[in-house]
Structure 1
Amino acid sequence: MKKWFIFITSLLLLSACSQPPHFDSPIYSGEALTIGIVGEPPNVREKNISFIPLSMEDVLKKNFQNVDAVLIHKRYLKEAAKPPYADVYLQSPVPFVFIESEKVYLAFVDRELSYEKAHQMKSGDYFIGFYKDTYFGVGLYNHIKNEKTIQDGYSRLFALLERAKHTGKIIVQ
């Protein structure tokens, strides 16, 4: 009987440890945002977010005047870190967000630093961004990468971008 008790207790503990803990994940309910996206638009829960496809050429030509922010997908990060883009990010009137970068934000704003030679990011942020001389990051809940935590990350990112739109600066809460 004691062996069965230990066996069942062990199974319950193992199954409890394999499930991510519950966390509150509010959906962004602020004002509508229009976001330029280089790459595929993400799957988000919000209905008040519009994505406008952009190319890296659009970024270089600064064809992003009608958006509240620009997101650049992981697939385009090496190109996005090339020297001609640094001035675009440094002078941009909207925040730039780099999705799933393995490198620190300096890879994008330092003309002398390539993506390959930039330091590895240690913060674990899923989104890193730059806006008006300010670096910012948004991580995933407990650094767990799944659909729920990614969607939660987008919701928190949208709230940050809305505050930037109204205040002209990044305010992390």
Structure 2
Amino acid sequence: MKILFTFSTSFQYDNIIKRCYTKKITLQDLNNTNSFDAILITKNYLQEASDNQYTQFYLNSSIPIVFVQSDKAISAFIIPNHTYENTFENHAKDYFIGYYIKKDVKNSDKSESTIKLLQNKVTLLFK
């Protein structure tokens, strides 16, 4: 089950950071993020984060991946051979865009209540 999510520009990024324990890592450290609840990739690293070498990590990650202040659509990060330069603009100007896939959901669990539960998990990251 996949969830693509966005939050508007009015969302207060500073408030999120104040309420969360954060640890700075490099993109090269992505494979060592098993103990994290989510990964936020900030604006300064978005172009590098769109490199093909990271696509499979985002698609296979068991935690939400959030791109902060992206001027480009989510496809720059999760579709092979799309890059920050060659992907269309994020016309909605969402402050956060992200990708999350719940790996252990069975087909029978794809009910509306399960989808709502997963959406709540993503939303809780930002409360």
Give TM-score scaled by structure 2 length.
0.68
2:65 to 96, 105, 126: 96
* 3-state SS, counterpart of residue 43 of structure 1: helix
For the residue of structure 1 that corresponds to 2:77, the secondary structure is: helix
Structure with higher RCO (Cα < 8 A, 6+ apart): 2
Residue 27 (structure 2) aligns with: 56
- Alpha-carbon distance between aligned partners in 2 of 1:97 and 1:46, rounded to the nearest angstrom: 13
Using the alignment, how far apart are the partners of 1:106 and 1:45 within structure 2?
25
Distance 1:51 1:102 in 2: 23
Taking only aligned residues, the RMSD between alpha carbons, in angstroms, comes to 2.5
Aligned CA distance change for structure 1 residues 46 and 124 (closer, same or farther; 3 Å): closer
Structural mapping, 1:96-135, within 5 Å: 96-132=65-101
What do residues 36-69 of structure 1 show as CA deviations (whole Å, max 9, x unaligned)?
Answer: xxxxxx633676410011111101xx11111110
Matched, 1:43 2:14: yes
> What stretches of structure 1 move > 4 A for 4+ residues in a row?
45-48
Please give the secondary structure, in 2, of the residue aligned with 1:51.
coil
Which runs of 5 or more structure 1 residues have no equivalent in the other structure?
A: 1-24, 28-41, 134-166
Matched, 1:76 2:45: yes
Question: Residue 73 of structure 1: CA displacement?
Answer: 0.6
Bigger radius of gyration among the two: 1
Corresponding position of 1:86: 55
CA distance in structure 2 between the partners assigned to 1:72 and 1:131 by the alignment: 14
When you count strand as a share of all residues, which structure comes out higher? 1
Q: How far apart are the structure 1 equivalents of 2:48 and 2:77? A: 9
How many residue pairs match? The answer is 98
Letter in 1 for 2:89: Q
2:119 paired residue number = 170
Distance in 1 (alpha carbons) for counterparts of 2:50 and 2:18: 31
- What is the DSSP-based 3-state SS (H/G/I as helix, E as strand, rest coil) of the residue aligned with 1:50? coil
